[in-house]
Structure 1
Amino acid sequence: MYELHDIVEMKKPHPCGTNRWEIIRMGADIKLECLGCGHVVMLARRQFDKRMKKILEKHTED
């Protein structure tokens, strides 16, 4: 399962060419930041679950 600050890959790449997103907020909606251009999008959790392909990096507590 995904958590805050995980790096995820979506099914479709962002127009900037990158397909890496960081989860920056979780709740009923999920806020993502593109790691290529810094664009921020907000998706309903249900939409996010459908569009996420896989978790690339898990956030580790320091």
Structure 2
Amino acid sequence: MEQQVQLGDIVRMKKPHPCGSSEWEVLRVGMDFRLKCQGCGHLVMLPRPKFERMVRGIVRHAAPQS
């Protein structure tokens, strides 16, 4: 994935979470990604290679901080 994912972005993943939501908020970026499900609030950590395989695209970018 060539898009730059930043903190606060909402991303769509390949498979939906068991709650039914496919959208996740990015809480941490680095070697691991910390994601929060937008449906139920569940938190998960994914290694970078798995995240890059699973992500479909950015739904909404984070609001720029001033």
Structure 2 length normalisation: TM-score? 0.89
State the identity as a percent.
Answer: 47
Matched to 2:41, the amino acid is: G
Instruction: Specify the alignment match of 2:50 in structure 1.
Output: 47
Q: Deviations over 1:2-48 (max 9, x none)?
A: 11110000000000001110000111100000010000000001110
- State the distance in 1 between where 2:33 and 2:62 align: 16
Which structure dedicates a bigger proportion of its chain to strand?
Answer: 1
Aligned length: 62
Partner residue, 1:9:
12
Which segments of structure 1 move beyond 2 Å, counting only runs of 4 or more?
none
Amino acid at match of 1:24: L
For 1:32 and 1:45, locate their aligned partners in 2 and report how far apart those are by CA, in whole Å: 12
Q: Please, which runs of 5 or more residues in structure 2 have no aligned partner?
A: none
Query: What SS is found at the alignment partner of 1:55?
Result: strand
> How far apart are the structure 2 equivalents of 1:7 and 1:44?
17
Q: Which runs of 5+ in 1 are unaligned?
A: none
Question: What amino acid is the match of 2:52?
Answer: D
